[in-house]
Amino acid sequence: MARSAITFGDTVIETPPRQPWARSNGMYIAGRAYLDEADQTAAQMETKWGVGRLRLLVSLELREKFDRQRYLLNQAVWHGELEEVRTQSARMIKAYEFLNRTATEAGHQPLDPMVWETTSADGTVIAIVPDATHAHRALSDGRRVAVYSLDEIGRMLSDVNLLQAAKLVFPGATVTGIKRTIDDPLEFIHDSSASLDDEIPF
């Protein structure tokens, strides 16, 4: 696939090739609309159930189907045509909805609204709670979870003078490089061009 380039004065910056589904601006906008819907659904499920937790609350068979569907969506994003992006985005949404119903019907509890989650660079889930009395509300369900109260975070940040100084000097500055997934089987598959050996029923 041909590469493209952006020119700034005498400087030419080569950019990665566009995926097949994004060959034109119109195609990109169309595909992005479907992907945004899938991303929004994923974010909603993560907010409701916790980081990487929902797939751990269902059977092994359903978890495998879910991960295969995620692979198919990744494959469509990187190698597919527009119709594949539309199809796999819609199936990904159905997969999340199915897992959500299954976990709910099985009686699993969503993430407590007093617990906020993110992940560290090594994939550990960081659960943030208002105070120590809320620590028991953090749920692991097979995940590696470290629980911090706001008081603990305040003490840690007071020891990180450089970070605090940067936050004061540059209002709105953010810490980057936070990883949002944990123990994800798709992390170990570096090429999504290969097809899977079966169809995923979502």
Six-digit token pair at 166?
């940067």
Of the two residues 140 and 95, the one the predictor is more confident about is: 95
Under a CB-based contact definition with an 8 Å cutoff, are residues 3 and 17 in contact? yes
* Mean pLDDT confidence for 133-144: 83
**pLDDT of 35 higher than 50:** yes
**pLDDT of 48 higher than 80:** yes
Nearest to 81 by CA among 152, 115, 30: 30
User: 118 has which bridge partners?
Assistant: 126
Of the two residues 151 and 45, the one the predictor is more confident about is: 45
pLDDT at position 137 is 85
In which residue are the tokens 């007071």 written?
A: 158
Ranges 3-17, 81-95, 129-143: which has the least confidence: 3-17
- The pLDDT-based confidence of 164 (bands split at 50, 70, 90) is low
Dihedrals phi, psi of 84, to nearest 5 degrees: -65, -40
pLDDT at position 178 is 42
pLDDT at position 155 is 78
What is the total residue count of the chain?
202
* Mean pLDDT confidence for 137-142: 82
pLDDT at position 38 is 95
Model pTM?
A: 0.66
Of the two residues 71 and 121, the one the predictor is more confident about is: 71
pLDDT at position 180 is 44
* Mean pLDDT confidence for 101-125: 90
pLDDT at position 201 is 65
pLDDT at position 41 is 96
Q: What is the largest CA-CA distance in the chain?
A: 62
**pLDDT of 188 higher than 90:** no
Provide the mean pLDDT of the chain. Answer: 82
